[in-house]
Structures are given as C-alpha cells and as structure tokens.
Amino acid sequence: MRLEEKLGQGGRMLFSLEFFPPKTEQGLANLYDRIERLGRLGPGFVAVTWGAGGATAQRTLEVCSACQGVFGLETVMHLTCTNMDRRKVDEALDGALAAGVRAIL
C-alpha cells in the first residue's frame, strides 16, 4: 500500500522509523540488521536522511533501495537540495525512481 493511501486511512495510527546512512561497510551491515529487526514491528514507513550537499547521496540511495526492495518497507527519501546543483538533484531523483522510491521529502 502506498504511503498516501496509508496516511489517508482514518483512525489508524502509524509510526515511522528514520535512518541515517552510515559511513562504513560495517556500519551498513549493522544498519541492515537493525532495519530487518525493526521492520518486523510494522512501521507505516521508514525515512532515510540525505547529507547536506549530497554528502551521503550514494549511501542514501543504497539504503532506500534496500528498504524498499529487500525489506519491503515503504520508504521516504529525504532529499536536501541545499548547495546542490540541478544535475545532482536530477541524478538523485533518477536514483530514487530506479530504486522504486516514490515518496520524497
């Protein structure tokens, strides 16, 4: 069920989880372990943050793709456009589309 459909259901309480992409491969493995365990709690969606200026751009897209595709969690990608040129924003949006992420904040 898409996020807007979940939010449109009256009387149903949702909760979300937010993740920040780690810098190391070990941190990524640890995050994926936690996402798998926390995903069992049934969040309405998960959000993945975006570093200022796109500092974590590739890792954000990687985590979004895993949350959406591997873990089956509706995913919101935070996209911070501050200090980013249009080309980088377009690349980020293309990456989200390729990952199946349709909800972008």
**Is position 5 annotated as part of the catalytic site?**
no
Q: Which one-letter amino acid corresponds to residue 1? A: M
Strand order in the sheet with 75-77: 16-19, 45-48, 75-77, 103-104
Choosing from 18, 36, 62, 74, the catalytic residue is 18
| Catalytic (active-site) positions | 18
